[in-house]
Amino acid sequence: MRKANSTNYENQKKLEESCGLTYAMILLSGRWKVNILWNINNGINRYGRLKNGIPGISEKMLTQRLRDMENEGLIIRKDFNKVPPHVEYYLTESSKQLTPILDKLCNWGSQVRPMLMELEKQLTAD
């Protein structure tokens, strides 16, 4: 977190306001956000299923990220007001526009991962 009166903070705010890419990257930054969006897009929209579908995420972090993403307008939380609790999460219209981009990023990551891992092995072997 940057100090609100620092030069770095002011520069970041200027970039957010003037550059769509910077704004998008800041909005999606933070561990797990992209994974949560990806899972919700793929039909995993209940808390327990999200928890099981994202290896390594803690309950605390999943809860926090879901709250953050709801406040940021990335997801919609629907509470069915039942006992036991029944809550589902959905993508907002703006997040739905992001899904083809996430799909392309996923494909790109799958393609370059083996090449970059091989390169890393070669560099560490030297």
Distance in Å from the first CA to the final CA of the chain: 38
Do 65 and 24 share a structural domain?
no
Identify the CA nearest to 68 among candidates 107, 29, 108, 119: 29
Identify the CA nearest to 74 among candidates 48, 100, 98: 98
Q: Per the structure block, which two tokens stand in for 6?
A: 């620092």
Average model confidence (pLDDT) across the chain: 92
The CATH number of residue 115's host domain is: 1.10.10.10
Q: Per the structure block, which two tokens stand in for 45?
A: 């929209």
pLDDT of 2: 59
Do 46 and 21 share a structural domain?
no
pLDDT in tens, 16-52: 888 989 889 989 998 999 999 999 999 999 999 999 9
Do 15 and 4 share a structural domain?
yes
Do 38 and 26 share a structural domain?
no
Residue-number span of the structural domain to which 19 is assigned: 1-30
Query: pTM of the entire structure?
Result: 0.82
Going residue by residue through the chain, which has 126 residues, state the pLDDT in tens, using 9 for 90 and above. 557 778 888 888 888 888 989 889 989 998 999 999 999 999 999 999 999 999 999 999 999 999 999 999 999 999 999 998 899 999 999 999 999 999 999 999 999 999 999 999 999 987
Distance of CA 71 to the CA centre of its chain: 14
pLDDT of 1: 56
Do 115 and 61 share a structural domain?
yes
